[in-house]
Amino acid sequence: MRAEVKQRAWEQIATAGVSALSLNAIAKQLGMSGPALYRYFANRDELIAALIRDAYRSLADTVKAARDAGADVAGLARAIRDWAHADPQRYFLIYGTPVPGYRAPDDTTAISFEVMSVLLDAFAARSPEPASRPFEAHLSGHRAWAGEHPAPPAVLRRALTFWTRLHGVLSLELAGHFAGMEFDPGLLIADELAALPER
């Protein structure tokens, strides 16, 4: 029943967005009362947390599978882009506009660290030189987003730059902002990643 509720929730999100998610509407679709549905999810935030957790778990598994198949940094980017294209609403739930009043539980954040950890390992394999830039020095004291990964600041910077460039282009692409421009966003992503500093 929890899986069925989540499926109905994804359908609602696809048609009206996450802000319109309603447990009572889902209960009605399933032919049950609102209170009956609360046996499976205590409230709307618990349902959203389950959806976000599932989305991050799916992305983390996708990125790990790409890594295990020998993907380099460009291959990881393609895997993330393919995952996002397969279900844009799932992508926007975790990388789009924050849900008003919602705060992700710690275990959800831990799953997102798994994705970043794979990226950090990929960049660490490039053997960067010691930190020398101001932002790298700044990063040395701010590792929370990296899940306390032991990567040096230069690797943290490159992984963070990868992440922001990829998601910047990908978010614009999925939102339709490149419509009518007649170019391949995949090539733009490839060019952006090729321009990442080696050191």
CATH of the domain at 114: 1.10.357.10
Name which residue leads in pLDDT, 86 or 153. 86
- Write down the pLDDT at residue 77: 94
Residue 199 within any structural domain of the chain: no
Query: CB under 8 Å, gap of 24 or more: what pairs does 149-154 form?
Result: 149/113, 149/116, 149/117, 149/120, 151/120, 151/123, 151/124, 152/124, 152/128, 154/128, 154/129, 154/130, 154/199
169 and 147 in a common domain: yes
pTM: 0.84
Structural domain includes residue 148: yes
**85 lies in some domain:** yes
Determine the Cα–Cα distance for residues 18 and 79; give it in Å rounded to an integer.
25
Domain containing 1: what range? 1-42
Q: Please tell me the predicted confidence (pLDDT) of residue 84.
A: 96
Residues 146 and 110 grouped into a single domain: yes
Quick check: is 150 in a domain? yes
**60 in the same domain as 27:** no
**Domain match, 152 and 72 both:** yes
Q: What is the pLDDT of residues 134-193, one digit of tens each?
A: 666 555 555 555 556 677 778 888 888 899 999 999 999 999 999 899 889 999 999 888
Query: 126 pLDDT exceeds 80?
Result: no
Mean pLDDT across the stretch 65-79? 94
Question: What local confidence, expressed as pLDDT, does residue 144 receive?
Answer: 52
- Regarding whether 179 and 86 lie in a shared domain, the answer is yes
pLDDT at 129 over 60: no
Provide the number of structural domains found in the chain: 2
Would 146 be classed as within a structural domain? yes
Over pLDDT 70: what percentage of the chain? Answer: 86
Asked if residue 103 and residue 36 are part of one domain, the reply reads: no
Neighbours of 167 (CB within 10 A): 15
Considering the domain boundaries, does residue 174 fall inside one?
yes
Give yes or no: residues 29 and 74 share one domain: no
At residue 85 the predicted structure's pLDDT band, cuts being 50, 70 and 90, is very high
Backbone angles phi, psi at 169, to 5 degrees: -70, -45
Place 54 in a pLDDT band, splitting at 50, 70 and 90: very high
Q: Is 3 exposed, middle or buried (0-12, 13-18, 19+ CB in 10 A)?
A: exposed
pLDDT band of residue 198 (cuts 50, 70, 90) is low
Nearest CA to 193 out of 57, 79, 117 is that of 79
